[in-house]
């Protein structure tokens, strides 16, 4: 058999070396993730119990709990994604499908890439000055959410753009050739086809929101008290809306404060809850993406 055959080329030592290196890198990444999660759970999982999850910290009642911080975290996640997702997806659709390629589009793309690289503490300072002082929102969940929206907006926009670019042009020309309007084509063909990439951007944004602390220290504050809900639904909705204008410390803020005070076991317990929340939210997002995927 000649030395130039495909069979011989497949067995080249360099190919085997690269293949082993790729598998080794993949295994190392998985092992590193499992090692970090395992260490956090080993140090803090014994702290996590029903009382820890369903009470707030009270010196008078001698309780240590994170319910208020858990509520604030989910509240900030919901508000931020409700604002950032439509804006980011809409901006990506405009840049990819409507705007003509040129200097303006290049400038916008360069700006979004630059924004994604700015340190979060800078966003925190801007949010504190603009949203907190100029707009008068002070330290509040809404101030933190608006600040985080600026942080994750480039992430969602760029991922959505890349997802839209993976859809073949034949889909566009075929739909338009059959008489569909451009918006109908985008809504029924492009968005469903690019949904996995869009969801990936949302998951990355979700992880950054849940894990953010520096920006929220300057904007959301560290309050952990829950609103006092009653039996009246409308009053409860009013209290919930008003909570957005109050100080609200997330789980990451509470973890930082606990570490600062030397309460390491409680901090690791909060770390366990954060990991579980991220895993659950990612799983739910994946399920939703599969439901929206065209069959």
C-alpha 255/C-alpha 269 separation (Å) is: 9
Give residue-wise pLDDT tens across range 246-282.
Answer: 888 899 999 999 998 888 889 999 999 998 888 887 7
Q: Mean pLDDT of all residues in the chain?
A: 86
A 10 A CB-CB count for 188 gives: 13
Residue 294 has pLDDT above 80, yes or no: no
Give residue-wise pLDDT tens across range 212-237.
Answer: 888 998 999 888 888 888 777 888 88
Query: In the prediction, which pLDDT does 228 show?
Result: 81
pLDDT bin (cut points 50, 70, 90) of residue 29 is very high
HSE-CB for 58 with a 13 A CA cutoff: 13
Pick from 9-18, 59-68, 100-109: least confident: 9-18
Give the percent of the chain with pLDDT over 70.
95
Give residue-wise pLDDT tens across range 40-54.
Answer: 999 988 888 888 888
Query: In the prediction, which pLDDT does 34 show?
Result: 92
b/e burial code for range 43-74 (CB count within 10 A of at least 16 → b): bbbebbeeebeebbbeeeeeebbbbbbbbbbe
Query: In the prediction, which pLDDT does 26 show?
Result: 94
Residue spans per domain, the chain = 13-44, 48-292
**CATH code for the structural domain at 48-292:** 1.10.3720.10
> Among residues 127, 121, 132, which one has the least CA distance to residue 246?
132
Query: In the prediction, which pLDDT does 9 show?
Result: 53
Give residue-wise pLDDT tens across range 149-181.
Answer: 999 999 999 899 988 988 888 888 888 888 888
CB contact set of 23 (below 8 Å; sequence gap of 6+): none
Query: In the prediction, which pLDDT does 28 show?
Result: 95
pTM of the complete model: 0.84
Under DSSP, the state recorded for 224 is -
């Amino acid at each position: 058999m000649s030395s130039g055959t495909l069979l011989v080329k497949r067995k080249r030592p360099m190919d085997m070396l690269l293949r082993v290196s790729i598998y080794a890198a993949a295994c190392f990444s998985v092992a590193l993730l499992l090692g970090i999660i395992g260490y956090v759970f080993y140090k803090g999982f014994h702290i996590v119990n029903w009382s820890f999850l369903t009470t707030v910290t009270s010196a008078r009642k001698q309780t240590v709990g994170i319910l208020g911080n858990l509520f604030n975290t989910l509240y900030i996640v919901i508000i931020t994604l409700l604002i950032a997702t439509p804006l980011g997806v809409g901006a990506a659709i405009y840049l990819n499908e409507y705007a003509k390629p040129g200097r303006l589009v290049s400038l916008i793309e360069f700006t979004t890439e630059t924004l994604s690289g700015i340190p979060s503490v800078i966003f925190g300072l801007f949010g504190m000055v603009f949203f907190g002082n100029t707009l008068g929102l002070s330290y509040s969940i809404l101030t933190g959410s608006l600040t985080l929206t600026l942080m994750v907006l480039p992430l969602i926009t760029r991922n959505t753009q890349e997802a839209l670019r993976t859809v073949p042009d034949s889909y566009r020309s075929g739909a338009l050739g059959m008489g569909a309007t451009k918006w109908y084509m985008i809504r029924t063909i492009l968005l469903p086809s690019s949904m996995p990439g869009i969801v990936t951007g949302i998951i990355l944004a979700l992880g950054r929101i849940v894990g953010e602390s520096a920006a929220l220290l300057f904007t959301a504050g560290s309050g952990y008290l829950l609103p006092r809900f009653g039996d009246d639904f409308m009053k409860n909705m009013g209290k919930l809306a008003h909570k957005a204008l109050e100080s609200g410390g997330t789980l990451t803020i509470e973890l930082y404060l606990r570490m600062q005070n030397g309460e390491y076991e409680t901090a690791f317990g909060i770390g366990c809850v954060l990991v579980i929340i991220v895993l659950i939210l990612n799983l739910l997002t994946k399920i939703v993406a599969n439901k929206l995927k065209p069959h």
